[in-house]
């Protein structure tokens, strides 16, 4: 199969807002073929939100592309709201959206935190998933959260010094607690600078080679606030799932067609997690990209993701 890159930019044929409860309203959109095979894109973070480039992983002539912003993220409202914001509720939101769009089954595609949510959703609702496309695996284990908060200093010491250095020295023994306190503060003069420091840390570690475009995107107020506040909230609560839940329940989804794409030099979600997942799930197609980090937009990674969705065309 010849290598393909991202599809051209397209506009949605439908956008909408779906009330979820008394607090949250979900932004969603559909693009591509209204009668095509449904695929839902799950953005990272939690809290990063989706954008127009995420439509481009899918052939718009074949797929009915569903994109939404998770609670507290992107164009969903209220931005950065942690009340009633948990992994089980995000799974329920996906089911609400699927029913709202009269979709029986769909392909589920997600990277980083999106891979976490995709796996969790599939383990709760395996009969609703036609196939799973996963990238930059995050299994929500304590070791992975600890790596992000402190282990990264081994490979990205400059970025980690800036991240930890934002916090006063007498609070650096608990970076998550110190950031959480500031990110949840009601005053934008307190929470926005902390959000930028957190978001820039992640953005600067997300690509194999320096990427000014990535840094610029991660420095925007909306993305930074949603990303940093949601990540701190979810990390402080162990992702609202029992430790090792995703690994221990992999048997529920091993019959679902799946592919896993992992950058060899992913600093944010190191390759060990993808390796652990692939060994427990030998049926899934596993591809290591030898010259990539964490970002879905690095050339080898995005080509492999598009290629994976091309193969899924055989399933409907």
310 vs 43: CA distance, rounded Å: 20
87 vs 66: CA distance, rounded Å: 19
- Catalytic-residue membership of 102: no
Residue 58 DSSP class: S
**Cβ neighbours of residue 170 under 8 Å, at least 6 residues apart?**
none
Strand duo 14-19 + 25-32: pairing: antiparallel
Q: Quick one: which of 188, 183, 187, 262 has its CA closest to 227?
A: 183
Whether the Cβ atoms of residue 300 and residue 291 lie closer than 8 Å to each other: yes
- Catalytic-residue membership of 266: yes
Which residue in the list 31, 73, 76, 112 is annotated as catalytic? 112
Tokens of 112: 């980083």
What stretch of H or E contains 287?
Answer: strand 285-289
Which residue in the list 59, 69, 93, 266 is annotated as catalytic? 266
Tokens of 171: 């609070």
For tokens 């942690």, what's the residue? Answer: 82
Count of Cβ atoms closer than 10 Å to residue 18 Cβ: 16
* Burial class (CB within 10 angstroms; exposed 0-12, middle 13-18, buried 19+) of 22: exposed
Count of Cβ atoms closer than 10 Å to residue 168 Cβ: 8
- Catalytic-residue membership of 294: yes
How long a stretch of residues is the chain? 316
Tokens of 102: 């009269």
Which residue in the list 31, 59, 294, 295 is annotated as catalytic? 294
Name the residues annotated as catalytic.
Answer: 112, 266, 294
């Amino acid at each position: 199969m010849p290598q393909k890159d991202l599809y051209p930019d397209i506009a949605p044929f439908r956008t909408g807002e779906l009330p979820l409860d008394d607090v949250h309203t979900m932004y969603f959109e559909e693009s591509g073929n209204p009668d095509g095979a449904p695929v839902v894109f799950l953005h990272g973070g939690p809290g990063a939100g989706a954008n127009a480039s995420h439509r481009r992983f899918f052939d718009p002539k074949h797929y009915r592309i569903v994109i939404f912003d998770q609670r507290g993220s992107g164009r969903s409202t209220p931005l950065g709201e942690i009340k009633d914001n948990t992994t089980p509720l995000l799974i329920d939101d996906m089911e609400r959206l699927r029913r709202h769009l009269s979709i029986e089954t769909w392909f589920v595609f997600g990277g980083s935190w999106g891979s976490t949510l995709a796996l969790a959703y599939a383990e709760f609702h395996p009969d609703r998933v036609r196939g799973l496309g996963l990238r930059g695996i995050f299994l929500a284990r304590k070791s992975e959260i600890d790596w992000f908060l402190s282990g990264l200093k081994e490979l990205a010491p400059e970025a980690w010094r800036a991240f930890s250095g934002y916090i006063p020295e007498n609070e650096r023994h608990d970076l998550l607690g110190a950031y959480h306190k500031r990110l949840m503060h009601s005053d934008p003069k307190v929470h926005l600078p902390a959000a930028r420091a957190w978001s820039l840390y992640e953005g600067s570690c997300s690509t194999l080679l320096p990427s000014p475009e990535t840094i610029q995107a991660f420095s925007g107020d909306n993305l930074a606030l949603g990303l940093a506040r949601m990540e701190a909230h979810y990390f402080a609560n162990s992702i609202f799932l029992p430790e090792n839940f995703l690994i221990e329940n992999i048997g529920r989804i091993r019959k679902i067609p799946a592919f896993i794409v992992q950058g060899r030099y992913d600093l944010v979600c190191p390759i060990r997690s993808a390796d652990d997942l692939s060994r427990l799930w030998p049926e899934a197609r596993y591809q290591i990209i030898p010259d990539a980090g964490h970002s879905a937009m690095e050339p080898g990674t995005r080509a492999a993701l598009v290629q994976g969705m091309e193969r899924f065309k055989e399933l409907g």
